[in-house]
Structure 1
């Protein structure tokens, strides 16, 4: 019966898993690229990937927020306790906030630092942020704190999803899993 709960539509699932895959690739790239002693080519490649993937995430998240505003989430199964509903709502809100804060602060850090974002530059999209070292440093600090908050919230999110999929088997997992059957 639990696998018959209504799920998210194809667009919502595609947006969710696109962001998930990109962010899960960006996290290790972001953590590694700032380490001392890396070969310059590796460090440059990681920075290139991280900056341009951030632009893609920003665009997908913006579309995802618009989509979510016009396509509400399907209801949770009725057996989910109210305290779990509140935690789920707060953690999802936190994820959305951080998925906006991260690319915005990354963009500000890079542009205020006078660095390129190659994908945007190739399209002729100029910086809207003037070069400003204190602004770049502040954005970098916010980006770093937000990154660790995001990692923590993602761990909670994945842990909760796995708990619902493997232990509770209550239909929550199948609402978003891309290959789950919709009834």
Structure 2
């Protein structure tokens, strides 16, 4: 069990957070009716392309976690809270993979571009299918709501531990230098 998170793990945590939080806002806004077409298009394009970056960064972060592990929680944390932390972190990782993947499937199966991937010449990996696009859209939507709820709990727990000054906040805060 490692003593702490590596600088790479810490930076990935905060970079991914800085990408996901505005993605949630964009995701909620871009589907509203009555938006100016130019704004809606910009939000969709940004959401798709940043989602692709999030998928890559989350895969890297997960690989680091699987390879290195995560530091143990202090013994002062009750067993139930440890279990909740374990399940919530596993669920966060699952959702951070599921959302970009379901978004990718929804967009590609719906016949839409992902501009960054198209510019790189990366082929579409799913067939054109309205049924598949609709199913992926549903997964993406409800997964997004689940992620929002879990992120609120995660942020609440982080604030709780920061106020308690129990050392958990310092483990993930970006390293100096």
- Do the two structures share a fold, i.e. TM-score over 0.5? yes
Residue correspondences, number = 175
Aligned to 2:4: 7
- The range that moved more, 68-77 or 32-41, is 68-77
1:136 aligns with 2:138: no
Aligned to 2:104: 107
Aligned pair partner of 1:176 in 159, 168, 172: 172
Distance apart, 1:9 and its partner CA? 1.2
Equivalent residue of 1:8, what SS? coil
**What is the TM-score when the length of structure 2 is the normalising length?**
0.96
Distance apart, 1:91 and its partner CA? 0.3
Distance apart, 1:151 and its partner CA? 0.2
Distance apart, 1:7 and its partner CA? 3.0
Shift of the 88–180 alpha-carbon distance from structure 1 to 2, 3 Å rule, reads farther
- The range that moved more, 14-23 or 113-122, is 14-23
CA distance in 1, matches of 2:15, 2:25: 17
Cα deviation code 1:30-71 (max 9, x no counterpart): 000000000011000000110001100110111111110111
**What is the TM-score when the length of structure 1 is the normalising length?**
0.93
Structure 2 gaps, min length 5 = none
CA distance in 1, matches of 2:126, 2:175: 42
Alignment of 1:32-43 (within 5 A): 32-43=29-40
Shift of the 102–43 alpha-carbon distance from structure 1 to 2, 3 Å rule, reads same
Are the equivalent residues in 1 in contact too, given 2:7–2:175 (CA < 8 A)?
no
Are the equivalent residues in 1 in contact too, given 2:110–2:129 (CA < 8 A)?
yes
Structure 1 gaps, min length 5 = 1-5
Cα deviation code 1:91-141 (max 9, x no counterpart): 000100101110010000000000000000000111011110010000000
Higher relative contact order (CA 8 A, sep 6+): 1
Aligned pair partner of 1:88 in 80, 85, 89: 85
CA distance in 1, matches of 2:68, 2:9: 9
Alignment of 1:53-72 (within 5 A): 53-72=50-69
Give the CA RMSD over aligned residues. Answer: 1.2
